A and B are shown apart, each in its own frame.
Chain A
Amino acid sequence: MSNNHGYKLYQGNEACVEGALDAGMRFFAGYPITPSTEIAEISSQKLPKVGGKFIQMEDELSSMAAIIGGSLAGVKSMTATSGPGFSLMQENIGYASIAEVPCVVVDVQRGGPSTGMPTSPAQGDVMQAKWGTHGDHPAIALTPNSVQETYEYTIKAFNIAEKYRTPVILLMDETVGHMREKLKLKASSEIEVVDRKKPSCSPKEYVAYRPDEDMIPPMASFGEGYRYHVTGLTHDETGFPTNSNEISGKLIHRIVDKVEKNIDDISFFEEYKMEDAEIVIVAFGGTSRAVKSAVDEMREKNIKVGMFRPITIWPFLEKQISKVADKAKEIYVAEMNLGQYFIEVDRIAGKKCHVNKINKVTGELFTPKEITDAVTGGRL
């Protein structure tokens, strides 16, 4: 796809579009909102050049609806938004979950609640990315911390969505979305692109929601001759609504299990100076950049500190956090919210060591000093 194999200066939001295009995105529907708007703007500019389609919808409700429609037509689809729009999208994120329609939803987080701080970084949508839509459902959210990672994990987000037939959230934050740094685009031969599994049977034999052994049903596109039914109601294997309590329960278990039981396949994280770390700071996204500097500074003073950085925010990396807690004497969870990811870390690690919070909701990125102060009690 890309001819440029060298480094170039890119913004996070730009890198997101490049990744999406390299993953095969050919449909984007969205609504302008700071700080994600560049993703829509660049998509509108680039999609027609690769034969794809862009549409600016009337709101985020219909943006989410439109990308589900696009995906059902067989075209890889994405939308991008920020907190207020992410709230509106929750309705049809639930639809995509139960109807098992692959798509990618980018949320470039800003200060909330409500209109909050439109141009300021925050990480207050961690729980919304998991529980924003009602009912039990699978949740996959990836959080990059650099421009390069934004590019790479946008590609991964599409691949995971296609493989597991489910919406994937790319949970960025304003810092990562608007920062500019070097990006190395990949040559198309270096990019792994996963496409959804198609039915191999004839339309007559097709049972639209009958899963294979991997718990995922093959997906036909509308217009290919497999005339099937899609609904947001709980349904049986044929795709038609059911009143059976047993079948309804089984469906919810399956759509959750197909993700949870494959967690190792979608667990991404970074361990930084963790080998002998007695103090571990858990941080992700923009925050992790400040934490990394703080770790370096504290290491210079011979403090045995490291960083565990989840890139997969959801499903929660229970196994990895548990392992971290086995070795650590103390864990700090630094995040630009009042302790959303902390709840999960504490749930697992709290039984084994002390877990502390480092929080900031002023609409500013952490400084490394704030992190070192929190960890050393200002003694550094």
Chain B
Amino acid sequence: MNCSENTQKYYRVNRLPHIWCPGCGHGTLLNAVVRAIDKENLNKDEVVIVSGIGCSSRAPGYLDFNTLHTTHGRALGFATGLKLANPKLHVIVIMGDGDSSAIGGNHLIHAARRNIDITAVVFNNDIYGMTGGQYSPTTPYGDFATTAPYGNIDRPFDLCSLAQGAGATYVGRGTAYHVPLMQKLIEKGIENKGFSFIEGLSICPTYYGRKNKKGSAFKMQSFLKDNCVDIKVAEKNSEKGKDKIIIGEFYNNPKPEYTEGYQVIIDKFQKQGRD
């Protein structure tokens, strides 16, 4: 196998090939995560990658860090325990759209509210892929899924608005096509001392794509290329952002971090002793 330097350094090469379908956007997004970790020069022994359940959740198994594949929706609960118990750890959580915002929606808003220093990266492919293509909280209105055979009448979440509204202090959206942007957002998310939320728009040619006649993986990538506009462009020229998917850095507003807040309490009360 011909492996790049990053692959050799950060991947468990013996766990490859991965399980994702041909054309899936997840591998590209995972590479953005790895490149960001490399750029931030994090100590591999202090990095923990946590995931829930679904296609996205298989990502940590391929990476040579402390890796934790948890239960559906609960990745942020496990991550919160890890981070609070040992704040030295760099905790990066990879979740899917259903994982993070349906079954795990409550944990997402509360992790964001606490502003605990965790970098959450959502691989959003608008569908439950692992179970074969059911509609998720991000499936667009009117689209088809195996459980929406007559069209989806649920209104989708805007995950970034949700995270920002709940208190995340760094929020951005990249895509599996806009890889340098995705990497940059994750880097800044890691740098932010607090809860960072980065949505990565992925593509699922196998289930979402086929069910909605979106064409090949190439066509779906081209859609991302042609229909995403950076927020800086859209803010300057609203015409350019009209009916487009807005990507880029949405929010960067550091606030007091949770584990540091707890340490202040310890420093103040530890000297009093237990009784």
Select A231's contact among B61, B66, B86, B110, beta carbons within 8 Å. B61
* CB–CB A70/B82 < 8 A: yes
Q: Which residues of A contact B77 (CB under 8 A)?
A: 57, 61-66, 69, 92
Please, what's the 1-or-0 string for A61-77, where 1 marks a CB less than 8 Å from any CB in chain B? 11111111111111101
Which parts of B223-275 form the interface with A (CB within 8 Å)? 262, 265-266, 269-270, 272-275
* CB–CB B69/A69 < 8 A: no
* CB–CB B270/A53 < 8 A: no
Select A29's contact among B79, B81, B274, beta carbons within 8 Å. B81
Given that A58-B107, A66-B80, A229-B61 are known contacts, is A74 also in contact with B69, CB under 8 Å in the complex?
Answer: no
* CB–CB B71/A58 < 8 A: no
* CB–CB B85/A69 < 8 A: yes
Q: Which residues of B contact A221 (CB under 8 A)?
A: 86
Q: Which residues of A contact B73 (CB under 8 A)?
A: 61
Residue among A77, A95, A222 with most chain B CB within 10 A? A222
Given that A65-B78, A69-B80, A92-B71 are known contacts, is A58 also in contact with B272, CB under 8 Å in the complex?
Answer: no
Residue among A53, A77, A228 with most chain B CB within 10 A? A53
Select B84's contact among A53, A58, A61, A63, beta carbons within 8 Å. A53
Q: Which residues of A contact B24 (CB under 8 A)?
A: none
Q: A91 vs B77: C-alpha distance in the bound complex, in angstroms?
A: 13
Min CB–CB distance A70 → chain B (angstroms):
4
Q: Which residues of A contact B44 (CB under 8 A)?
A: 227
- Does A232 touch B at the CB level, under 8 Å? yes
Residue of A nearest to B265 (CB): A48
- Does B158 touch A at the CB level, under 8 Å? no
* CB–CB B85/A77 < 8 A: yes
Q: Which residues of B contact A63 (CB under 8 A)?
A: 77
* CB–CB A70/B81 < 8 A: yes
- Does B88 touch A at the CB level, under 8 Å? yes
- Does A338 touch B at the CB level, under 8 Å? no
* CB–CB B69/A233 < 8 A: yes
Residue among B44, B45, B79 with most chain A CB within 10 A? B45
Which parts of A1-59 form the interface with B (CB within 8 Å)? 1-4, 21, 26-27, 29, 46, 48-51, 53, 55, 57-59
- Does B74 touch A at the CB level, under 8 Å? yes
* CB–CB A48/B270 < 8 A: yes
Q: A192 vs B27: C-alpha distance in the bound complex, in angstroms?
A: 49
Given that A66-B84, A231-B61 are known contacts, is A49 also in contact with B274, CB under 8 Å in the complex?
Answer: yes
* CB–CB B85/A75 < 8 A: yes
Q: Which residues of A contact B76 (CB under 8 A)?
A: 62
Given that A55-B80, A241-B61 are known contacts, is A50 also in contact with B274, CB under 8 Å in the complex?
Answer: yes
Which parts of B42-62 form the interface with A (CB within 8 Å)? 44-46, 48, 50, 60-61
- Does B89 touch A at the CB level, under 8 Å? yes
* CB–CB A57/B262 < 8 A: no
- Does A223 touch B at the CB level, under 8 Å? yes
- Does B65 touch A at the CB level, under 8 Å? yes
- Does B206 touch A at the CB level, under 8 Å? no
Besides A3-B275, A26-B85, 17 new A-B residue pairs in contact (Cβ under 8 A), listed by A number: A2-B275, A27-B81, A27-B85, A51-B266, A64-B77, A65-B70, A65-B80, A66-B81, A66-B84, A69-B50, A69-B68, A71-B85, A73-B81, A91-B74, A92-B74, A95-B71, A230-B67
User: Which A residues are closer than 8 A to B by beta carbons?
Assistant: 1-4, 21, 26-27, 29, 46, 48-51, 53, 55, 57-59, 61-75, 77, 91-92, 95, 221-225, 227-233, 240-241
Give 7 closest A-B pairs by Cβ, nearest first: A69-B81, A65-B77, A62-B77, A66-B81, A73-B85, A70-B85, A69-B82
Q: Return 13 A-B CB contacts under 8 Å, by A number.
A: A2-B274, A50-B270, A51-B266, A57-B80, A62-B110, A69-B78, A69-B81, A70-B82, A77-B85, A91-B71, A92-B77, A227-B64, A229-B60
User: Which B residues are closer than 8 A to A by beta carbons?
Assistant: 15, 44-46, 48, 50, 60-61, 64-71, 73-74, 76-86, 88-89, 106-107, 110, 262, 265-266, 269-270, 272-275
